[in-house]
Structure 1
Amino acid sequence: MLRIYYKKDRRLAKETDLESLREIPIESLIWVDLQNPTDKEKATVETYFDIKYSSEEESQEIESSSRFNEVEDELIINSNFLSIKEKGFAYCPVSIIVEKGILFTYRDDDLKTFGEAVKRIKASPASYINGYQIFLTILETSIDNDADLIENLARRIAELNQQLILRKKRSDEQFLIQISSFQNETMSLRENIIDKQRLVSALMKSSLFPEEYMGVLRIMIKDISSLVEHNKFAFERLEYLQDTFMGFVNIEQNHIIKIFTVATVAFMPPTLIASIYGMNFKAMPEIEWEYGYLLAIVLMILSSAGTLIYFKKKNWL
């Protein structure tokens, strides 16, 4: 899908037809956005503007030179944006080029960040006069979305913590799986935030990015630093939650072992009595007792009861 945003009569217009690209004056263009485009759409945009989008492999490179580069009058940027899936977060690499005030973006997924950025742009179209402003709006929207994701994660962690304290609704295995899932989400968020932090830092050092927007970048870097701290707190809270969970498991296991230990010790005296009177010797004085069997039973009961009472007085039960 191709989206072309350009200035027209002091407002922001949009086209989606590839043929209309050549009819729009280049000085009016602001943003050319490719979302899961056809080969023809991608090739036409690259040829017409003499640019080259990064491949998916290049977009996923971790080297700083692959993430941000300046070539003559072009800013070449590769950044990962989070895409929310059923089983958690997934990375969507986005290839970004800023050349002569025109923003070019290439992505495969329909990202929430881009959708919300477009809503912001439509709310005040007259204030957007170049691609730098569009790019800053996308970054601001991405940071806001990351903040919302962290707040949502913190709320779910708090709910899980409450369930753990009450020991309701979940088995031990479910608790451990959920904690592990939250840890993976926290790490994904951290990687995404750090990626934006590196990008904004690089933009602040860039000689091609307009000086007039440096104030906005400085505010962004402060917001990102705040998100890093919140993310760190969420991860520490999950570690504490995991330690608490393991503590509960150990307490339960110790309680079970204690029950078996007490039962074993309580039955040791009766077992000794039964072993003695179960020996087959002729010269056993008690073998002729009329009430010998009853006495042995009573001794076994009393010995077990005495052991349990002793444990109770010692607060071992």
Structure 2
Amino acid sequence: MIEHHILSNGALCSVEGPPETLDGVLWVDLCNPTRWEERLIEERVGVAVPTLAEMVEIEDSSRLYIDGTAMVMTIVVIEGMDTGRPRRAQLTLVLLPHVLITVRYANPVPLRTIAARVARHPAESDSAPRLMATILEAFVERIADVLEQVSGELTAISDTVFFEEGKGPQEQDLKKLLQKLGRQNRALSILRESLLSLDRLLPFLRDATSGKAARTEGEVLPQLARLSAKGDKRLKAIERDLKSLSAYESQVEQELTFLHSATIGLIGVEQNKIIKVLSVATALFLPPTLVGTVYGMNFHNMPELDWRYGYPLALGVMVLSAGLPYLWFRRKKWL
């Protein structure tokens, strides 16, 4: 699907379908594009649109490069937090001097709310480079929101594990806690990758827009989009936010690692209790079993077979041999 967006009276107006001409078009969004739609946009702008296979490549040369007058940048984004199944997705931004093109095979939250964001500050998104900065800010804020969500989930798990009085590990359902920790770990992993991709994008974008992009000897640098002084300040602000978020993400990761180890430890404690009960039961029933085994032998010359009180005596010895170890265990507080 193709949508193109025009800034009109301070609002971002969306029109479904490809634009007839790029005049006045601020943003072209390709969501799950077909090959025909990709070729159509390529003909209109003269830039090759990356395919999904190209977008998922991890090397920087495939994610950040200049193609003619366009800067092609791919970042990792997170989606699915609202459904409890976080997953990574790729978003490619193709920045040309007068239009921004996005290619995506997902529907991340920041792009769903970008129109409202532009409406609040239309002057900050009245050109392709400024709109791209606005989109990057939205994704940074989304990372911060998800980090806060993960941190809140870990706090709830910590309260369950360490602060719920009167509940043993069995009642806390440690298996479900481990599943929750696994989901939060996946979310953190995606956020870490997203932060890394943004951290690599910003220097590339700043160098390219300032004319410092790397080039081969004799190559003429194309006329790329330029950021204003205010736009450069916005990129620096985003870089500062990324540094603080990276530090916060490391702190949350340490907390998750500790909670995972603590939960595994509690599972070990619970298993040890079960093994302890089984060991004590074995120790209690071993002497009576021995007595019963002795008197269960079918030898003819056994004096106790002719005793009138042999059977009650054997039962008494069994009870006594089990009772004495039981009292000993209680005295040692092993039970």
TMscore range, shorter length: 0.7 to 0.9
Aligned to 2:53: 57
Is the Cα contact below 8 Å between 1:2 and 1:18 reproduced in 2? yes
* Partner Cα distance (2:255, 2:297) in 1: 62
Output the amino acid matched with 1:33.
Answer: D
Is the Cα contact below 8 Å between 1:163 and 1:169 reproduced in 2? no
Cα deviations by residue, 1:206-225 (Å, 9 ceiling, x for unpaired): 33453612222222112112
Aligned to 2:256: 238
- Cα deviation for residue 61 of structure 1 reads 1.4
* Partner Cα distance (1:198, 1:296) in 2: 82
Aligned to 1:161: 158
**Residue 267 (structure 1) aligned with residue 263 (structure 2):** no
Which fold has the larger relative contact order, with Cα–Cα distance below 8 Å and residues 6 or more apart in sequence?
2
- Cα deviation for residue 265 of structure 1 reads 1.7
Aligned to 1:210: 227
Which residues of 2 match residues 52-131 of structure 1 at below 5 A? 52-84=48-80, 86=83, 88-131=85-128
Aligned to 2:15: 16
* Partner Cα distance (1:89, 1:105) in 2: 22
- SS of 2:79's equivalent? strand
Which residues of 2 match residues 147-296 of structure 1 at below 5 A? 147-165=144-162, 166=167, 167=169, 171-206=173-208, 207-208=210-211, 209-210=226-227, 212=229, 213-279=231-297, 284=302, 286-296=304-314
* Partner Cα distance (1:260, 1:302) in 2: 20
Cα deviations by residue, 1:73-110 (Å, 9 ceiling, x for unpaired): 32121223323263522333323222224322233433
- Cα deviation for residue 132 of structure 1 reads 0.9
- Cα deviation for residue 3 of structure 1 reads 1.6
Cα deviations by residue, 1:173-211 (Å, 9 ceiling, x for unpaired): 333333222222221121122111111232233334536
Is the Cα contact below 8 Å between 1:2 and 1:41 reproduced in 2? no
Identical aligned residues as a percent: 25
Match of 1:132 among 129, 132, 140: 129
User: How many residue pairs were aligned?
Assistant: 312
- SS of 2:86's equivalent? strand
* Partner Cα distance (2:61, 2:18) in 1: 35
TM (norm. structure 1) is 0.84
Is the Cα contact below 8 Å between 1:201 and 1:221 reproduced in 2? no
- SS of 2:113's equivalent? helix
- SS of 1:88's equivalent? coil
Output the amino acid matched with 2:227.
Answer: P
- Cα deviation for residue 146 of structure 1 reads 1.0
- Cα deviation for residue 284 of structure 1 reads 4.8
- SS of 1:241's equivalent? helix
Greater shift in the superposed pair: 163-172 or 209-218: 163-172
Q: Give the ranges of 4+ consecutive aligned residues of structure 1 lying more than 6 Å apart after TM superposition.
A: none
Greater shift in the superposed pair: 275-284 or 106-115: 275-284
- Cα deviation for residue 163 of structure 1 reads 3.4
CA 1:76–1:287 in structure 2 vs 1: closer, same or farther (change >3 Å)?
Answer: closer
- Cα deviation for residue 119 of structure 1 reads 1.1
Output the amino acid matched with 2:262.
Answer: T
Is the Cα contact below 8 Å between 1:12 and 1:126 reproduced in 2? no
Is the Cα contact below 8 Å between 1:121 and 1:128 reproduced in 2? yes
Any gaps of 5 or more consecutive residues in structure 1? none
- Cα deviation for residue 237 of structure 1 reads 2.2
The CA RMSD measured in Å over matched residues stands at 2.9
